[in-house]
Amino acid sequence: MIEKQRPFGELITYDEALSTLLKEIDPIERKEIVPLNDAFERILASDAESDMFVPPFDRAAMDGFAVKAEDTFEAGKFDPTELKAVGKLHAGDSPDKKLRKGECIQIATGAPMPEGADAVVKVEVTEKENEMVSIYQPVHPGENVSPKGEDIEKGETVLKKDIFLTSSRIGALAAMGKEKIEVYEKPKIGIIPTGDEVVPVGKKLEPGQIYDVNSHTLTSVVNKNGCIPFSGEVVHDSIEGLKEGIEKEIDEMDMILFSGGSSVGDKDVLIDALDSIGEVIFHGIKLKPGKPTLFGKVEGISVIGMPGYPTSCLNTAQQLIKPALRKLSRLPEPPERRTKAVLQKRITSSLGRQQYMTVRLDNGKAQPVYKQSGAITSMAQADGYFEIPENKELVEKGEKISVILF
């Protein structure tokens, strides 16, 4: 059977592959309620409406004296107005005294304004002697006061559903007293390694065996992109084994990633398994590393066959699976660190194939660290990578390139 070779059909471009994949993925609809702190960097699943005013009461915005503004209109630098201090209010106090004409109340920033007062005179322009306070500057009504609801009105929709919860949005939810937040669930991603030679890390290797690398790199990519990884056991390279692998997970998962089994060797039978219980959508991408990538659907769930070589698998995960996971989990585009560097070696690429080349950076110089395509160290020891677009055959030594940092 080894002689059986099933060449790829026509390879599609990376852009086609990505748009085809994204078109087939629907953002998650399941919701869950989580404690406020756990909602950080999740996606809000229902509008956050405030059922209170923030601040909940008129409060002093400065340390000083709460007054009736009109009592101060005559005050001047050389001709102070005198008011009688009739109490003190600290933040957290509840005012019980009503201010009358000719009176003032000492007040701290954040303390609630007493009834009858409509402004705060800053302590810097006052002088207090016993019970009498000299006011050296007039204030207008509302001056140095944060009115109730200034930040958030009762009934206001402060955050719309589907928004990404940054630190400040967590803060806004806290200000409204929201203890529990409705967010979208994190999608569940099944990760199934295949290959008769593949053994879980931690077991002893027998001759001919290698460790499962891809489950671990895929787990990190899934975690990083708002989803929950579920690592399965190694599945054997047979149509039956793979079908079983899919059927076991299809009801639980929102997406299934196989690693290995997606190439054209006789044991690469994922395409047959997919064909028999679902549909194959594409097989083979003009992407290097990452060509033997397979995409299909079973019962509406995306099943993706990732290349078996660790670097190919991880590159495909970064370029293709990451955007798919983010559409599924509703996360916004992630930040990216780029830097310019001077390429230290001429690199040739194939026309019609999007290529990614790992580099090590040293003082603005980019040294390619590509080994062979199975070599995980070519990525692990690199600082980042650059893209060679489909229509470019050559990048010259000395050319300035834009490096995406890992």
Q: Tell which positions 13-72 bind a second copy, by CB under 8 A.
A: 36-37, 40-41, 52, 54-57, 61, 63
Nearer to a second copy, 107 or 253 (CB): 107
Per-residue mark of binding to a second copy, 136-165 (x: CB under 8 A): ----------x---xxx-----xx------
8 binds a second copy (CB under 8 A): no
Of the listed pieces 103-111, 323-331, 349-357, 391-399, which binds a second copy according to CB under 8 A? 103-111
Helix axes 214-224, 322-329, angle to 10 degrees: 40
**Minimum separation from the CB atom of position 171 to a second copy (A):** 4
Nearer to a second copy, 132 or 394 (CB): 132
- For residue 111, which amino acid is it? A
Nearer to a second copy, 193 or 278 (CB): 193
- DSSP per-residue string spanning 306-347: E-SSHHHHHHHIIIIIHHHHHHHHTPPPPP--EEEEEESS-E
Give the one residue of 21, 43, 108, 256 binding a second copy; rule: CB under 8 A: 108
Nearer to a second copy, 10 or 206 (CB): 206
- DSSP per-residue string spanning 41-66: TSBB-S-EE-SS-BSSS-EESSSEEE
d(CA 114, CA 98): 6
Tokens of 324: 């798919």
**Minimum separation from the CB atom of position 207 to a second copy (A):** 4
d(CA 119, CA 98): 14
**Minimum separation from the CB atom of position 137 to a second copy (A):** 16
Of the listed pieces 11-19, 24-32, 167-175, 344-352, which binds a second copy according to CB under 8 A? 167-175
Tell me if residue 394 falls in helix, strand or coil: strand
Name the DSSP class of 163: -
Nearer to a second copy, 217 or 293 (CB): 217
Nearer to a second copy, 19 or 166 (CB): 166
Of the listed pieces 74-82, 108-116, 238-246, 295-303, which binds a second copy according to CB under 8 A? 108-116
Dihedral angle computed from the Cα positions of residues 27, 29, 30 and 33, in that order, rounded to the nearest 10 degrees: 100
Give the one residue of 266, 275, 279, 299 binding a second copy; rule: CB under 8 A: 266
d(CA 260, CA 296): 15
Nearer to a second copy, 216 or 353 (CB): 216
d(CA 233, CA 210): 15
Task: Kindly report whether the peptide bond that precedes residue 289 is cis, defined as omega within 30 degrees of 0.
Answer: yes
Q: Which residue has the tokens 């060449």?
A: 7
**Minimum separation from the CB atom of position 118 to a second copy (A):** 17
d(CA 119, CA 60): 8
**Minimum separation from the CB atom of position 241 to a second copy (A):** 13
- Residue pair 350/14 in contact (Cβ under 8 Å)? The answer is no
Number of neighbouring beta carbons within 10 Å of residue 384: 19
Residues 289-348 that bind a second copy (CB under 8 A): 308, 310-311, 314, 317-318, 333-337
**Minimum separation from the CB atom of position 217 to a second copy (A):** 4
CB proximity list for 19: less than 8 A, separation 6 or greater: none
Nearer to a second copy, 298 or 314 (CB): 314
Nearer to a second copy, 173 or 298 (CB): 173
Tokens of 268: 């690469």
Residues 370-389 that bind a second copy (CB under 8 A): 371-372, 374-377, 379-382
Residues 168-227 that bind a second copy (CB under 8 A): 168-179, 195-198, 201-202, 205-217, 219-221, 223-224
